[in-house]
Amino acid sequence: MAKITLDNLAHSYLANPASEDDYALKEMTHDWDDGGAYALLGSSGCGKSTLLNIISGLLQPSQGRILFDGKDVTHAPTAERNIAQVFQFPVVYDTMTVQENLAFPLRNRGRDEAYVASRVQEIARMIGMEDMLRKKARGLTADAKQKISLGRGMVRKDVNALLFDEPLTVIDPHMKWELRTQLKKLHHDFGHTMIYVTHDQTEALTFADKVVVMYDGRVVQIGTPEELFERPEHTFVGYFIGSPGMNVIPAKVEGRSAYVNGAQMALGHGYGALDGKVEIGVRPEFARLSQSDGLPIKVRRVEDAGRHKIIRAEFFGHGINIIAGEDDRISADMNRVSFDAAHVNVYRNDWRVKGDAA
Ligand SMILES: Nc1ncnc2c1ncn2[C@@H]1O[C@H](COP(=O)(O)OP(=O)(O)OP(=O)(O)O)[C@@H](O)[C@H]1O
C-alpha cells in the first residue's frame, strides 16, 4: 500500500489554457495516507474522473506531480503503478469460471497455485461467492459480476491502491448496502489504500474514513463525515451533504451577532470585519421551530420523512428547512425559529470563516 501525494497537480484538457476556468482540475496539493479509505465526492463534471485517471495513469496531468510513497510516478504507465481498478461496469471474463476470474491477477503475476487457491477461497468468502466458484461468469447477474470485479481488485495484497469508479452503479438498490458494508470490512481487514469515486453522499459517507469533496475542479474539503456535517468549509459542502442540506442565508456579521434583514441572532464565536459576500450556514438539525423563541418565519409545508419531520419555511424571503422529531407536535401558531448558536457557521465568499474561540 502507498501514501499518495498530489503535488501542485492541475489539469486542463485545452492545449493552451489561459485562465483558471480552463482547468478541469485546479491546482491542488494533498497527501492521502497509506491505508486510508477515501471517497471522492461531487456532482457530475466536478473533476472526479479526471483526478482518478491521473492517479491511475490513464491521463497525464498538464501540471504538477503524483507520487506513490514519495516516488514520482507522474509519467509511469498504468501497468507500472501497481494499482487495481473497479469500474462502473463489471469487467469479467465470461468464458472463465468465477474461480478463474478471481485467480487471474495472481496467476498473471506468477504466484504459485497453492497460494492462489487459498487466496481465492478467502476472497470468495469475503464477497459471498464461495458456492459459485465453479460457475462460468457468463449468465451471472450484473450484481454477481460486479462482485467478481470487486473481488478481483482485492485479490492481490501487494497493490499500491485500489481505485473504484462508481462501482455500485449497476448494483440493485437492496444489494448496494450489502456490498458497501463488505467493502468497508475488506478495507478494515486488509488495510488497502482505497479511493472510491461517487456522486452519492450516502455511499461516500458510509464507505470512507475521509471524504474528499470536489466542486468545480477543486477539492473544497477533505474531512471525516462528522467534520463535513459540523463544519462545512465551503457552502457547497453544506448544501451537498445532508438531507436537506445546510441553510445558507445572506447576513451581516458583527462581533458575536449576525443580522438577517436587520434582525439579530447570536453566534457561537466572535468575528472581525468581513467584506465580500457574507452568509451564515445552519443545518436544519440545528434550527428549532417554536411559538415564542427566535425570529419570525412562515411555515409553508411539513413533510413526514419517517424518523423525523422536515419543515419547509420562509425566513425573510429565503427558503429554509428545519428538522423536527417524528413525535414533535407542530401547530399553526409556531412561527418562530431559533438557531443553536454553537452550530451557526459564517461564510465569506463561500468559504467558512473561523471565529474567535472566546
Ligand atoms: N476528454 C475530455 N476532453 C475535454 N474535456 C473533458 C474531458 N473529460 C472531461 N472533460 C471536462 O472536464 C470536467 C471534469 O470532468 P470529469 O469527467 O472529471 O468530472 P466527473 O466529476 O468525473 O463527472 P462525472 O461524474 O459526470 O463523470 C468537465 O467539465 C468535463 O466536461
User: Ligand 1: distance of its center to the CA of 53 in Å?
Assistant: 11
Cite the residue boundaries of each domain of the chain with CATH code 2.40.50.140: 247-353
Cite the residue boundaries of each domain of the chain with CATH code 3.40.50.300: 4-240
Read off the pLDDT of each residue in 21-45 and give the average, rounded to a whole number.
95
pLDDT digits (tens, 9 = 90+) for 60-88: 999 999 999 999 999 999 989 999 999 98
> Which residue's alpha carbon is nearest to atom 7 within ligand 1?
13
What atom in ligand 1 is closest to the CA of residue 166?
25
Q: How confident is the model at residue 126 (pLDDT cuts 50, 70, 90)?
A: confident
Q: How confident is the model at residue 183 (pLDDT cuts 50, 70, 90)?
A: confident
Ligand 1 pocket test, pick from 22, 49, 240 with the greatest ligand atom count within 8 Å of Cβ, gives 49
> Which residue's alpha carbon is nearest to atom 14 within ligand 1?
47
Strands 252-260 vs 247-250: parallel, antiparallel or unpaired: unpaired
Q: How confident is the model at residue 173 (pLDDT cuts 50, 70, 90)?
A: confident
For residue 96, pLDDT beyond 60: yes
> Which residue's alpha carbon is nearest to atom 17 within ligand 1?
49
Phi and psi for 353 in degrees, rounded to 5?
Answer: -105, 130
- Grid cell listed for 245: 442540506
Ligand 1 pocket test, pick from 43, 46, 198 with the greatest ligand atom count within 8 Å of Cβ, gives 46
Superfamily of domain 4-240, CATH level 4: P-loop containing nucleotide triphosphate hydrolases (3.40.50.300)
- Grid cell listed for 226: 462528522
Average pLDDT, the chain: 93
pLDDT of residue 107: 96
What interhelical angle do 113-126 and 142-154 show, nearest 10? 130
Read off the pLDDT of each residue in 96-103 and give the average, rounded to a whole number.
97
Ligand 1 first shell, C-beta below 6 A: 13, 24, 42, 44-50, 199
Read off the pLDDT of each residue in 297-318 and give the average, rounded to a whole number.
95
> Which residue's alpha carbon is nearest to atom 28 within ligand 1?
45
Q: How confident is the model at residue 50 (pLDDT cuts 50, 70, 90)?
A: very high
Question: For the residues of 49-105, what is the DSSP string, one character each?
Answer: HHHHHHHHTSS--SEEEEEETTEE-TT--HHHH-EEEE-SS----TTSBHHHHHHHH
For residue 166, pLDDT beyond 60: yes
Q: How far apart are CA 293 and CA 235, in angstroms?
A: 26
DSSP state of 234: B
> Which residue's alpha carbon is nearest to atom 5 within ligand 1?
13
**Which CATH number applies to 247-353?**
2.40.50.140
pLDDT of residue 157: 86
Which of 159-168, 171-180, 187-196 ranks highest by mean pLDDT? Answer: 159-168
pLDDT of residue 271: 96
User: Ligand 1: distance of its center to the CA of 191 in Å?
Assistant: 30
pLDDT of residue 188: 84
What residues are paired with 10 via a beta bridge?
Answer: 63
With 0-12 / 13-18 / 19 or more C-beta atoms within 10 angstroms meaning exposed / middle / buried, residue 145 is buried
What atom in ligand 1 is closest to the CA of residue 46?
21
Q: How confident is the model at residue 177 (pLDDT cuts 50, 70, 90)?
A: confident
pLDDT digits (tens, 9 = 90+) for 215-270: 999 999 999 999 999 999 999 999 999 999 999 999 999 999 999 999 999 999 99
Ligand 1 pocket test, pick from 14, 44, 55, 166 with the greatest ligand atom count within 8 Å of Cβ, gives 44
Read off the pLDDT of each residue in 349-354 and give the average, rounded to a whole number.
97
User: Ligand 1: distance of its center to the CA of 24 in Å?
Assistant: 7
Residues 6+ apart with CB under 8 A from 36: 193, 194, 209, 210
pLDDT of residue 181: 82
Q: What percentage of the chain exceeds 90 in pLDDT? A: 84
For residue 1, pLDDT beyond 80: no
- pTM comes to 0.91
Q: How confident is the model at residue 112 (pLDDT cuts 50, 70, 90)?
A: very high
User: Ligand 1: distance of its center to the CA of 42 in Å?
Assistant: 12
Q: Is 280 within 8 Å of 251 (Cβ atoms)?
A: yes
